[in-house]
Structure formats: C-alpha cells, structure tokens
Amino acid sequence: MKKEAYVLQLDNNPNYRKNLDKIKYYISVLPKDAIILAPEVCLTDYDYENLEEACKFSEIALNELLNLIDRQILTLTLLRKIDGKYVNQAVVINQRTVVHTQNKHKLFKLGNEDKYLKAGSGEDIKIFEINGIKFGLLICFELRYKELWQKLEGADVILIPSQWGLPRKRHLEILGNALAVVNQCYTLIANSSKADMASSSAIYAPMGGVTIDDAAECIKGEIDFKQIKFMRRYLKLY
C-alpha cells in the first residue's frame, strides 16, 4: 500500500486570514485522501504581542478547517488558550474531527517560548492511529531529543511541524533523516520559509531517501508501507 503525502513550506503573512486562505487552497486542490502537514504556527506565527487575538483566530480557523477535512489528514499547530494558559498545540484533523492534540513539550528558550507559553506534558508524545496508519508527532525543537524518538518507535509516519532557524538548517536535515533511519519510518517535516528560517521541508524514507525542495511551497512524496515492513524485517532493531 502507498499513500500520497504533502508538506507545505510557507512564509507567514501578518494577515492571519491570508495564511488560513493559503491552507484552505491546498486542502481544496490536493487529493481527497492525502496526508497534509503544515509548518508550526503557520496561521499566526509567534505573535506574542497579540496572543489573545492570535488564540481567538485559532479557534475560528479550527472550526473552518473541521468543516473542510473529510478523508484527508491535516496536521498543523495553533496558538491556543487552554485553562487560562497559552500553549502551542498540534492538532490533527480527519473526518471533520480533531483526532489528536499535543501541546509542545520542549519549548525553544532561544526564541523566548518559555516566557509566553506553557510547556505540554511529555506523556502526550505517543503513537496514535488513523485508518490503520500509526503516527507520531514532534514539534520543531523536540526533534533534538533522542528520548522522544524512543517514545515513537513503531510509528509508520512521524509528523514534524516546524519553525526551524536558518543558522541550524543542516541540523534539521541531519536529524530528520536520522530519525527516519533509526525508527525505520517516514519522517515528514514542514518548515517555515520565512527569510530567517531554514526551509528544508522534506519527506524522509526509512531507507534514507529524501524528497526535498527549498524552492517549493508544496512538496509531494509517497509513503510506501512495504518499505517500512521490509526495513523492519531486514534490520530488527526493536
């Protein structure tokens, strides 16, 4: 079995609505059963000066996206206000339902995330299943923590919405490829294409292959489940 996957590599417009319209456009033109991954906080960016406004827009956007997503699987992160605290929350949508949420656990202190956002629980980082596909999810900086890789052993696809800085571009590529090889899975990275960001959005395969294009806004790849099974029989790592 094979399944098409698409990672979006988007710049952030100061106008939240324009960012949402871009996501809605890709939802409308991509295959009806595609896996779609968008960059971290792609709708509002880290708009710390307007957190209340950003969180309110996130709720509006989420309701609109829920009405659009049927057989597609869409993943993105949103700034949300939960129990009076601001969080960066990954949301996975399928069949007009939020099927998985996960608050960012490892906040990026160089970006002052810890000053504005509450860290999520590491217990939320776990495998979840959609239509027989086992998914895992890490948010940007969490990719650096090998103990989190272990929590996702056995996942078929690991999703990484990201806003990874340009000075550490090579790190993102090395870690994304290594995670796919070590966990014998597909690693999907959707990174921001802002001027100070790394781009490097990619789809990494368990054999080490990669589909990557820094010039593209939407990168298409293929999840080959036979390749996953082959690698796990060939090299029994766990």
Domains identified in the chain and CATH numbers: 2-234 (3.60.110.10)
44 within 8 A of 61, measured Cβ to Cβ: no
Q: What's the pLDDT score for residue 238? A: 62
Left, alpha or beta for 158 (phi > 0: left; psi -120 to 50: alpha)? Answer: beta
For residue 38, which amino acid is it?
A
Mean pLDDT by 10 residues, the chain (238 residues): 96 97 98 98 97 98 98 98 97 98 97 97 96 98 97 98 98 98 97 98 96 98 95 77
The strand ranges marked E within the chain are: 2-8, 35-37, 73-82, 85-94, 97-103, 128-130, 133-137, 157-162, 186-191, 202-204, 210-212, 218-224
Q: What's the pLDDT score for residue 235? A: 75
Separation of first and last alpha carbons in the chain:
23
CA distance 206 to 58: 34
Q: What's the pLDDT score for residue 1? A: 83
Q: What's the pLDDT score for residue 85? A: 97
CA distance 232 to 223: 15
